[in-house]
Structures are given as C-alpha cells and as structure tokens.
Amino acid sequence: LAFAALPCILRLSVSYSNTSPLTVLSGSSCYLHSYESSPSSPSISVTTYLDTRNNVPSVGHSNPNVNAAISAQVYAINTNTRYLHPNINSLASKLIATLPPLDGNDSWVVTLTNSGSESNDLALRIANWYTSGGPVITYDMSYHGHTSALISVSPYKLKQIGETSPRPNTYWLKHPNVYRCPSSSPSTHYKAEFDEVLSSIKSPPTLIYEIGMSVGGVCLPPPTYLAHVTDGVRARKGCVIYDCVQTGCGRFGENKWWGFEREDGAVPDIVTVGKPLGNGHPISALCAKKSVIRNFDTCGMEYFNTFGGNPVSCAAGLAVMEEVDRMRLPQNAEAVGSYLMSRFQAICSDFPTIVGDVRGVGLFIGVEILATPQTQQTSPLPPPPGTAETSWLCSKLKDEYRILSTIDGEHDNVIVVKPPLTFGVEEATYFTSCFRELVKKLLSLKASSNFDASGGKTPT
Ligand code: PMP
C-alpha cells in the first residue's frame, strides 16, 4: 500500500496482515494525528489528539527547524564518533552554558550518548570507580533505565517481578511524597530517613535521584531536601547523580533548566539528560564534574560509543536547544504551567473527594485521584487512591475528548501532565475544561452507585 499521496507522511510503502488495521502517526506541535486504515475498511480515517503526556517532542511534534537541521546534517555527513566533528563541541558547550559554575578549578565535562539509559549506565560506572565500589542509594519508586545495572537500582521495575527488597550493595529510600507523608513535617521526616540510611553505610556512597519522580507520580522533594542529601553524600566523599532524563531542558520553568536549580547548594557531581534533547531523535548526554570524571580516565578502560554524539544527533540536540531559547520555552512552561496548575487546583477545591492533590512545577504536573465516595470523610490521611477512577478518567479523556494523558504513581492514581513545552493557554483551557466535565460525570456515577470500577479501559 503506498501512502505517497498523503501530506506529512513520507513515501511510506507498507504491507499489513489481513486482519490488523494500519496506523500511521504524524504530528504538529502539541497534536498527534493518527491515520488508520484496514483491509476491510480501506478508506483512511484521521483522528487528531491533544498530547498532554509526551515530554520527548519538547519543542513540538515535527518542529520544522529541528527537522531541517537533521536533514541538512544527513546530507552533509554522518559517521562514527571517532571522527571529530565540530557539532560535538558546539553541543557540549551549549549544554555546559546551562549548568551552574563550579568552585575553584573545577569545570563540567560532557559525554554524548544515545539514550537516557546509556547516560545513566555510564554515570553509575563513573560513580562506581570514583567511590571504589561504594553502595548505591536509590528511591523505592525510581526508574533509571533498561540496562541490567540500571534495573538493579530501579525498584519501580524490580517490584514488577516481585523483588521487594534492595539488591546487594544497594539501599532504597522511600521517595519523598509530601501529600502522602506520614508526618506533618515532610522535610524533617524524609531528611531523617536519608540520615538513617547514610549512617548505616560505611564506604562512600552514590546517590542516584530523579528530582520529581515521574513514574512515582510527580513527587517534588520538600524544601531544602536536595541540599541536605547532596551535602550528606558529599561529606562522605560520595557521588551525587541527578537523573534529569525526563525533567531537564527547561520543563521546570524559568531559570530552571535543571530540576536541581530549585535549590541553592544542590549541584550534583553528574547530571544526565535524555528524552527532550533530540525531540524524538536519539541523543542524550552525561555532564560530570571534571574532578569526578578525571578519576575515571585512570581506570584503564576507555569508554567508546560508536553512535554517541554522531554529527546528525548533535545537530538535532543543537537545534532543540536553539528552539528552546528562540521560543522562550522555559518561560512558556512557567506561564502555561502556572495557569494549568491554577485550573486544576480550582477543580481540586470544587471536587476534593475526587481530586486529592495537584502538584508540580512548570509543565510537570501531577493530579492525584482518590477513591473516596462522595459522602465519606477523607480523614485521616492518606485517603484511598482512586486507581480505577484514574483509569476511567484517562480512558474517557482519550475516547470522548481526544486527549492523550498518562497514569503514574505508586498506586497508579496520578495523572501526569508533561506535554511538549509548546503547550499553550488554549490547550490548557481545553484540557482542564474537559477534565472538569469528566470529574463531574464521575461524581454523579459514584453518587448513583453506577461507577463500574472495571469499566475504565487502560489508555494506550
Ligand atoms: N531515567 C528516567 C528518569 C526515565 O524516565 C527514563 C525513561 N523513561 C530513563 C532514565 C531511560 O531513558 P531511555 O529510555 O532513553 O533509555
């Protein structure tokens, strides 16, 4: 079947089995278009979805400037990264310019890779060398990537196969969750938990932490927590890795290119960046302090990555960073994010038995859904999570309003909002208006005992 006639779809020749429908996607800024056809119904139907979940096309689906930069570099040259190309230095310099200045003679060093997993895997190798094999502290809802080493420090994954305790030389901390904290002082509570773990460790540790815990359901650390854990690890001559794979590149808003910029004194030893950097093209990076990575140089084993930092990937990364600046996307994340938060907060105040909490920063927002029946008191905290309700809401958002959303959190009851950074006020208004309607509908179904907890399909 030839699709050459369709705009947005590049001369695609495909064949498909007799039964399965064919779906082809294209995109533009915050929207995804799904073209569907099947042998039984060969005419093409097009459905357009508003994308509220996708932090990969950070500068908008099919961004023309990024596409042009990639194409131009493809025509010029693409090759093994043993051949030095100026794009490598340009991208590394641009990344370094976003990082905070370091003390004394220290500076940032950048290594380019092809995925968040590759960056984090290398970060663990560097940290392991730097700490002479010291233990790794991770969080009970974290995910850091798909290599074997990263799975071992990703309890979110380990729990899926029934592993509920840390692997050797690893410690799990409860992820800071201000809303569900058992104490009225989350900052003191989570710092004390960290101190307790640290005091039980004898050798220099590595801390790997994703500030904001995406799959944990957007849990930002309480005030001064970051500086506390950073200082704690550093005082033990350990290594701090902040995994900014999901949250980097301006998602947290103005003056916060990186999540750790929320707090003074929380500068890590290694920062990893991935998803948003290539707008869908595979490019990622590891930024490490020279004082930390220099040590790794002496380990004897070179690090080589055939495709990491190839000229085309670097062109993609450079174009994305230029687009972030040109369109002032961190400023947009700040402004539209605050507007979106205030609209969700209004829904939370109007329907507190369904929407328990709205939290986040910039265009990284979590909306926590509860199961509490309308008539029941929500005290004492924490109220029961509404897993089936969340699934119902996301399913209806997709089917009735063509809005793609995503569910995360320890109890699968947090709608995580992390759209392309080009998300505008119009999209935010539409999204929250539809969401409000669905919350009303959900309440009335529950009030009349007509809510079918198994009825919500898991959204795709
Ligand atoms: N770290 C975090 C926080 C992630 O969310 C992910 C991917 N979801 C990764 C690392 C791994 O990135 P990748 O899939 O690009 O390997």
- Percentage of the chain beyond pLDDT 70 is 92
**Residue in 352, 360, 402 with CA at minimum distance from that of residue 381:** 352
**Residue 30's domain spans which residues?**
1-51
Is position 456 within any domain?
no
The residue type found at 451 is F
How far is ligand 1, taken at its centre, from the CA of residue 52, in Å?
18
- Per-residue pLDDT of 218-258, as tens digits, reads 999 999 999 999 999 999 999 999 999 999 999 999 878 89
Binned at pLDDT 50, 70 and 90, residue 19 comes out as: low
Helical axes 387-401 vs 425-447, angle rounded to 10°: 130
Tell me what pLDDT residue 297 has: 76
Q: Which of 122, 142, 144 to mutate to test the pocket of ligand 1 (most atoms within 8 A of CB)?
A: 144
Do 178 and 193 belong to one domain? yes
**393 is written with which tokens?**
């809401």
Same structural domain, 166 and 244: yes
Is the residue at 119 inside a domain?
Answer: yes
Report, as an integer, the average pLDDT of 18-30.
83
Q: 292 — phi, psi (to 5°)?
A: -95, -45
What atom in ligand 1 is closest to the CA of residue 142?
Answer: 3
Q: Is 98 in the pocket of ligand 1 (CB under 6 A)?
A: no
Distance 157 CA to ligand 1 centre (A): 12
d(CA 112, CA 317): 10
> Could you tell me if 242 and 287 lie in one domain?
yes
Counting from 1 in the atom list of ligand 1, the atom nearest the Cα of 215 is 5
The CATH number for 306's domain is 3.40.640.10
In a domain, 56, yes or no: no
> Which strands make up the sheet holding 355-361, listed edge to edge?
355-361, 364-369, 414-417, 406-408
* pLDDT of res. 460: 36
Same domain, 128 and 274: yes
Whole-number pLDDT of residue 298: 79
Atom of ligand 1 nearest to the CA of 274: 15
335 part of a folded domain: yes
**CA-proximal residue: ligand 1, atom 2 (nearest):** 144
How large is the average pLDDT for residues 400-412?
A: 96
Measured CA to CA, the distance from residue 238 to residue 317 in angstroms comes to 31
Average pLDDT of the residues in 250-278 = 91
* Same structural domain, 333 and 428: yes
Whether residue 321 contacts residue 279, with contact meaning beta carbons closer than 8 Å, is answered with no
Q: How confident is the model at residue 380, as a pLDDT?
A: 59
111-153 per-position pLDDT tens digit: 999 999 999 999 999 999 999 999 999 999 999 999 999 999 9
**Centroid of ligand 1 to alpha carbon of 451 (angstroms):** 35
In ligand 1, which atom is closest to the CA atom of 118? Answer: 16
Q: How far is the CA of 340 from the centre of ligand 1 (A)?
A: 25
pLDDT band at 379 (very low <50, low <70, confident <90, very high): low
The residue among 326, 349, 378 that closes a domain is 326
What are the CA-CA distances from residue 272 to residues 77, 244, 303, 375 (Å)?
27, 5, 16, 46
In a domain, 251, yes or no: yes
| CA 437 distance to own-chain centroid | 27
Quick one: pLDDT band at residue 206, thresholds 50, 70, 90?
very high
Q: In whole angstroms, how far apart are CA 431 and each of 180, 397, 416?
A: 26, 9, 13
Co-location of 218 and 81 in the same domain: yes
Shared-domain flag, residues 162 and 270 = yes
144 lines ligand 1 (CB under 6 A): yes
Average pLDDT for residues 4-28, to the nearest whole number?
59
Q: Per-residue confidence at 18, pLDDT binned at 50, 70, 90?
A: low
Do 361 and 275 belong together in one domain?
no
Do 305 and 407 belong to one domain? Answer: no
CATH of residue 343: 3.90.1150.10
Segment holding 110, helix H or strand E: strand 108-113
Query: Does any domain span residue 460?
Result: no
Q: Is 157 helix (H, G, I), strand (E, B) or coil?
A: helix
Whether 45 and 150 map to the same domain: the answer is: no
SS3 string, 210-272, reads CCECCCCCCECCCCCHHHHHHHHHHHCCCEEEEECCCCCCCCCCCCCCCHHHHCCCCCCCEEE
**Among residues 326, 352, 384, which one ends one of the domains?**
326
pLDDT band for position 7 (cuts 50, 70, 90): very low
Predicted pLDDT of residue 11: 40
- pLDDT above 60: residue 397: yes
pLDDT at 354: 95
Q: Which of 87-91, 195-199, 358-362, 376-380 has the lowest mean pLDDT?
A: 376-380
Q: How does 420-451 read in b/e, with b if 16+ C-beta sit within 10 Å?
A: bbbbeeebbebbbebbbebbeebbeebeeeeb
Last residue of a domain, one of 302, 326, 350: 326
Number of domains in the chain: 3
Say how far apart CA 410 and CA 405 lie, in whole Å.
17
How confident is the model at residue 455, as a pLDDT? 54
Query: Looking at per-residue confidence, does 265 or 211 come out higher?
Result: 211
Residue 453 lies in a domain: no
Residue 9 has pLDDT above 50, yes or no: no
Residues 425 and 291 in one domain: no
Question: For atom 5 of ligand 1, which residue has the closest CA?
Answer: 246
Pairing of strands 270-273, 239-243: parallel
Q: Indicate if ligand 1 lies below 6 Å from the C-beta of 51.
A: no
* Residue 298 resides in a domain: yes
Same domain flag for 375 and 425: yes
Our CA angle for 23, 29, 30, nearest 5°, is 75
Residue 330 pLDDT greater than 50, yes or no: yes
